């Protein structure tokens, strides 16, 4: 295994995202990866769109982050289940990224998330040059690193401070604030895509759950139904008032009093 840093300058011709493998050819380790990534992306996108009025950000889902050149090339990449990078274009040269290449883009992700499929040892491995935790902490260096374990209904969030990850304490809501994104990360027990699970979710800084598109549509439907019921109630009350007025007018006329005068 050869690091690109070890090659002579004349021999260095670094590949870009179109020339590097986008997969290591293995199966997805965790069937939860795709629905959870979809849920995280769907619910955070409006917040990121508001945060980046210039649309300069990208989200990676089970996509490789290349940090050094090796043979084979995919051994020089880590593949977080979900990550977000601010202040980079959403595409490169008009094409979607096949991977995120640090020597091509330079800007580190703000946050990477790993969804544990085994014991969690791989995600916490601090072995120099090979351990996932070590590579994130020492080389890729996202400001926040989250390890989510569905079987434990838990998430650990680490914050990079002076070159080392420190485990963040939860706030009073049991969430982990990510100030640069204006959100909190935590566990939500609920139903999504026909699965009842402790899902990893986003909240705003006031503790309001960030809804996905399906939840927003359902909420809009409920609000429409409520508005329709309120309108029906108002119309019913107006009709009752009209009928009372007519009865009173009829009573007055029977007594020889003109109600219109």
- The one-digit pLDDT tens for each residue of the chain (261 residues) are 444 444 444 445 677 665 555 555 553 466 788 999 999 999 999 999 999 999 999 999 988 999 999 888 888 999 999 999 999 999 888 888 889 999 999 999 999 999 999 999 999 999 999 999 999 999 999 999 999 999 999 999 999 999 999 999 999 999 999 999 999 999 999 999 989 999 999 999 999 999 999 999 988 777 767 766 776 777 778 778 888 887 887 887 888 788 776
Pick from 9, 29, 236, 34: nearest CA to 119? 29
pLDDT of residue 24: 53
- The H helix count followed by the E strand count for the chain is 4, 12
Structure confidence at residue 19 (pLDDT): 55
- pLDDT at residue 11, as a whole number: 47
Fold of 4-210: tt1808, chain A (3.90.1570)
**pLDDT (0 to 100) of residue 94:** 84
Amino acid 5: pLDDT: 44
Q: pTM of this prediction?
A: 0.80
Tell me the Ramachandran region of residue 150: left when phi exceeds 0, alpha when psi lies from -120 to 50, beta otherwise.
alpha
Residue 196 DSSP SS3: strand
Domain boundary assignment for the chain: 4-210, 211-261
> Distance of CA 124 to CAs 13, 79, 138, Å?
33, 15, 13
Q: Which residues are paired to 112 by β-bridges?
A: 83, 145
Query: Residue 19, Cβ neighbours under 10 Å: how many?
Result: 12
At residue 191's C-alpha, the angle toward residues 210 and 230, to 5°, is: 65
183 contacts 205 by C-beta, under 8 angstroms: yes
Q: Which of 184, 165, 183 is nearest to 174 (CA)?
A: 184
């Amino acid at each position: 295994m050869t690091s690109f840093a070890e090659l002579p300058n004349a021999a260095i011709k670094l590949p870009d995202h179109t020339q590097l493998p986008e997969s290591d050819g293995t199966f997805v380790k965790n069937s939860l990866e795709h629905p959870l990534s979809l849920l995280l992306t769907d619910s955070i996108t409006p917040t990121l769109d508001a945060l980046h009025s210039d649309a300069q950000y990208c989200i990676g889902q089970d996509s490789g982050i290349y940090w050094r050149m090796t043979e084979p090339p995919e051994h020089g990449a880590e593949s977080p289940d979900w990550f977000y990078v601010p202040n980079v274009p959403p595409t490169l040269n008009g094409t979607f990224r096949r991977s995120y290449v640090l020597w091509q883009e330079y800007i580190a992700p703000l946050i990477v998330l790993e969804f544990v499929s085994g014991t969690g040892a791989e995600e916490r491995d601090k072995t120099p040059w090979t351990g996932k935790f070590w590579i994130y902490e020492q080389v890729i260096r996202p400001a926040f690193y989250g390890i989510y374990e569905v079987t434990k209904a838990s998430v650990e969030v680490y914050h990079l401070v002076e070159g080392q990850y420190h485990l963040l304490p939860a706030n009073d809501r049991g969430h982990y604030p990510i100030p640069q994104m204006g959100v909190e990360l935590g566990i939500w027990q609920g139903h999504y895509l026909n699965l009842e699970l402790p899902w990893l979710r986003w909240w705003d800084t006031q503790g309001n759950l960030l809804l996905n598109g399906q939840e927003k549509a359902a909420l809009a439907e409920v609000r429409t139904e409520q508005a329709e019921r309120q309108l029906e109630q108002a119309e019913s009350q107006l009709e009752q008032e009209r009928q009372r007025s007519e009865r009173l007018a009829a009573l007055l006329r029977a007594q020889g009093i003109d109600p219109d005068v």
